[in-house]
Amino acid sequence: MQQMSVVGAGTMGRGIAYTAALSGFKVKLHDIDDSNLKQAEASIEELLQKSADKGFIDGDQAEAAKQQLNYENDLQEAVHDADVVIEAVLEEIPLKVDIFRKLDEYCPNHTVLATNTSTLSPTEIGASTNRPEKVIAMHFFNPVHKMKLIEIIKGLDTSEETVRIVQDLGEKMNKETVEVNEFPGFVTSRMNCLIGNEAMNMYMEGVASAEDIDKALKLGLNHPMGPLELADLVGLDSRLRNMNYLYETLGEKYRPCPLLIKYVKAGKLGWKSGEGFYNYR
């Protein structure tokens, strides 16, 4: 596994590409939007410079990582020689299925196809291809370069060889991995969505301020980040998509908090919009 392609140049795609390049992989980052690609390149180079300035990496490592990265708006060109493709687009099954059908057509037969998803089914995504045994979910966490975990989720037809390949891939990226059998929400999202949704309900009910709810979980339960802060970081629209999926598949306890729905309708999406449970402007 030498050549990696990452599909989607948003926050997660950029983070995966950055981490993979620093780990020695040749990386092609794809997005259909040229402006997204330019923003991704600027963001990655800025992060490399900051990491070098702070002493986390040296200048030679930063320069080597830059040389490992290519930015490509044509999907076929981005993946035609890939050993592994990691898709990191919106959490929408129709979109992911469409991309995986194209990946199946454009990629070499040996290519492993991974979806970076926090809730969706690798079995359903893999069924849209002629290589379901090579389709798997790799759930990275934000920010990718800091978070140590990758959740590896097997679909119904995912082979043990594919699991081994992505476990090795995670190790080369200096990550720990856990292996999960497919079930809606996997391990982390299923727990995290419950905690976050209850925090939103408590805030809506006036139990405590957003700051105090987050402070209580950070200091009382040793969470590194409060659940409302985390929801803002992830994006409230993304969190609502996850909650709706879990509500549809797992039932009433995952019904999205009405305040979350209201915030998304108002365009208050968290950090990326400048306002959510906190104001970032």
Query: Which residues are part of a known binding site?
Result: 8-13, 31, 91, 96, 118, 142, 272
C-alpha span between 180 and 143 (Å, rounded): 21
H runs (alpha helix) in the chain: 11-22, 34-53, 59-68, 75-79, 93-106, 122-126, 160-172, 188-205, 210-220, 227-234, 236-250, 258-265
Question: Cβ atoms within 10 A of the Cβ of 252, count?
Answer: 6
Strand partners, 275: 270, 279
Q: What are the binding residues for NAD(+)?
A: 8-13, 31, 91, 96, 118, 142, 272
**In whole angstroms, what is the distance from residue 165 CA to residue 160 CA?**
9
Q: Can you tell me the distance from the alpha carbon of 68 to that of 126, in angstroms, rounded to the nearest whole number?
A: 29
